Amino acid sequence: MARNLIQKGHAYYCTVSIPRPLRSLFLSESGKPKAAIWEPLGKDHSTATIQCAERVSYWTKVFTRLQAGETLEDIKASEQKLEEQRQALKRFLTEHSRKVVSTNADIDHVVSMTYPGESLIPPPAARLEFVAARFPAPAALPVPPQPTPAVGSETVSQAAAAMYAQMERDGNRATTVDGHRLRVRAFVEACGDIPLANTTRAVASDWLDKIGETRSNRTRNSYSMTMALVIETARKRGRYQGENPFSGQKVKAAGESYQPFTDAELRTLFTALPREIKPAQHSPETALPWVSLIALYSGMRLEEIAQLSAADIRKVPANGATITVIDIHNGGKNALKNEASVRLVPVHSELVRAGLLKYVAALPKGGPLFPGLVRRASKGGKVGARLGELFRKRLIALGLKRAGVCFHSFRHTVSGKLDQAGVAQTDAARVLGHDIPGMTFGTYSTGPGLKRLAAVVEEIRYERVFG
């Protein structure tokens, strides 16, 4: 839902993308098809968050009905009829129970108790009489139980918003904060924006178990860590008391450690990943072979490669010579894992042989290295998310998928090759972007240090894996 809630100035808006086949049904004042629906939600973030979730749910149902063959007129008519039925029943219940029924939620609660499983309000007199029999005067209508927050307690969304603000003030990376947003959003969508005081250990355990049904233990633990951090941050601000229901909820991620590729697996993989020097149209599919090959001969992370620009592959002076490097840096929309990730990695000779420099030369100047990639808001703004999905599908199709093998396995494969070659730990760390106390970027940025690093990179050797 984070991608649907937009802040402009001091106001919040809900934006819902209209499926392309339905856009002709939603016209602007000028008569042009709309790409999205925008609705104002006011200035209060907590209220806007709840309202946005409701509007997204509403429009999703409308789009589903339109795709099933209904018209907008049909939907409006059914909604009007439903509202008339609600008002009729509200008047009837108020008269017979001597209690004012003020909201649709009250009405729905009565109907759900009287006719379990029904969502529409039926108007026949027989049913109204049956409702009156169930709730005779002067008995009061049953009111849905409302959670009573402890003094000073916040809702999950309120506590999370305070945590995000603190993380941003502390200089945390935007992708880190966005990751927490996505996990909190998953909790709110599943359990509601409930007060922290009502987030019991049972609620936490049941939700995490549900996550674990479709996700790995490592992913489940990430969700647990995020929610534990939300509550712990609220505790420090005096908005929560008692035991953190997410503490001790981590489970063992046994058998999930990353595994390196074998040379035989690499030959099979890269035979199925032919490269194009000048793709007719750039796409994630044309980028994947190059991204994979760069990872194979550098150990770079997926997102580090995906967010490169063409200018990031450049020549730098090195003690009277020049060395072509991959410049891995922050800046612009780039977001690296940590400070140690900022580095220059010399381009391996096998990448040159594969035609990487020719591919770069054919690109528009100043543009991205992989023009076919786009950032995904649903993945925390990452640009390499689609590549990870494609790579996994390719592994499965080739029969190479096994426990611990994924795109990140390239880093472990390179690490193993450097270790086998007897490369010093600090040199390997400089290539891979690992943090080593006392080591700085400048040590290997120019001169003899960079020439030494180029020799280290050449120690990444395989039996021939591509033609």
Q: What is the pLDDT of residues 406-434, one digit of tens each?
A: 999 999 999 999 989 998 888 888 888 87
d(CA 176, CA 329): 17
As a whole-number percent, the residues of the chain with pLDDT over 70 amount to 78
Q: What is the pLDDT of residues 324-348, one digit of tens each?
A: 999 888 766 666 655 657 888 999 9
Average pLDDT of the chain to the nearest whole number: 79
Helix, strand, or coil here: 327? strand
Give the pLDDT band of residue 443 (cuts 50, 70, 90): very low
pLDDT score at 336: 64
Question: Per residue in 337-378, pLDDT tens?
Answer: 556 578 889 999 999 999 999 999 999 888 999 999 988 876
pLDDT the model gives residue 86: 63
Please report the pLDDT score of residue 57 as a whole number: 85
Let me know: does 409 contact 260? Beta carbons within 8 Å.
yes
| Position 178 confidence tier, pLDDT thresholds 50, 70, 90 | confident
- Whether pLDDT at 151 is above 50: no
Structural tokens at position 328: 């891995």
- Greater confidence (176 vs 340) lies with 176
Q: Kind and range of the H or E element at 326?
A: strand 321-328
Q: Average pLDDT for residues 53-78, to the nearest whole number?
A: 84
Short-list 213, 214, 154, CA closest to 184 = 154
pLDDT of residue 27: 84
Work out the average pLDDT over 235-245.
Answer: 88
pLDDT > 50? residue 157: yes
Element containing residue 11 per DSSP (H, E): strand 11-17
pTM: 0.52
Q: Is a pLDDT exceeding 60 seen at residue 33?
A: yes
DSSP letter, residue 440:
-
C-alpha distances in angstroms, 214 versus 139, 158, 210, 258?
46, 28, 8, 19
